Homo-oligomer: A and B are copies of this chain.
């Protein structure tokens, strides 16, 4: 069932945490089974989209019965919301870690941009974005939260980082959130939107990412860098 491809969701944790919840039998809701359902739903939904993925498909892919799904989730939409929350948390985890390491400004930005571009152009992230954007009209709160807590995560870390350097005098930025957005978009220029539309069928080669983010950092530091400090 699992084709091994990267998917929206793949926790696939074993039902092993029995110890952390000794009285399992009497109180229902095995978290491992919940994760199993989410994993199956993630694979199916990332492949077919929310509407085209039937609960039947999800049950089959997850290896549970249809009824079980309704034990863990109130309905298809509820399952979907949970999936999107889980996916967002997992995919965008630790995106700012590179910024916390020591090192000169340009190197830090480069490390961060590398991880960012590589991650955001990956198949699982692109698929999650497609699914989320595809239903954003009907589920605007879900979409907003996805952006707020997901996409923003990257730029928020970056924002703090930039603030620090502004305070240190190495960067001169009037509108830090705008600058963070600009850095982010520059790093994705010609990559992310093409990926979303399937105009670029495969993730970009490292060389292409490298070229793009070097130019982005150059432009960014040229504009925001304090003269003689970078």
Q: CB distance A199 to B147 under 8 Å?
A: yes
Q: CB distance B138 to A49 under 8 Å?
A: yes
Oligomeric state, in number of copies? Answer: 4
Please give the number of chain A residues whose Cβ is less than 8 angstroms from any Cβ of chain B in the complex: 53
Q: Counting chain B CB atoms within 10 Å of each CB, which of A52, A137, A218, A220 scores highest?
A: A137
A227 within 8 Å of B (CB atoms): no
Which B residues touch A143, using CB under 8 A? 196-199
Which residues 114-139 of A have a CB within 8 angstroms of B? 127, 129-138
Which B residues touch A185, using CB under 8 A? 185-186, 188-189
- Which stretch from A12-20, A34-42, A93-101, A174-182 is at the chain B interface? A174-182
Chain B proximity mask over A206-223: 1 for CB below 8 Å, otherwise 0? 000001100110111011
Q: CB distance B134 to A182 under 8 Å?
A: no
A194 within 8 Å of B (CB atoms): yes
Identify 19 residue pairs between A and B in the complex whose beta-carbon atoms are under 8 Å apart, listed by A's number.
Answer: A46-B137, A49-B135, A49-B137, A51-B52, A130-B133, A133-B133, A134-B134, A137-B198, A140-B198, A143-B197, A144-B197, A177-B190, A178-B189, A178-B212, A182-B186, A185-B185, A185-B189, A219-B219, A223-B223
Listed from nearest, the 10 A-B pairs whose CB atoms lie closest are A134-B134, A51-B51, A140-B198, A147-B197, A185-B185, A181-B190, A147-B199, A181-B189, A143-B198, A219-B223
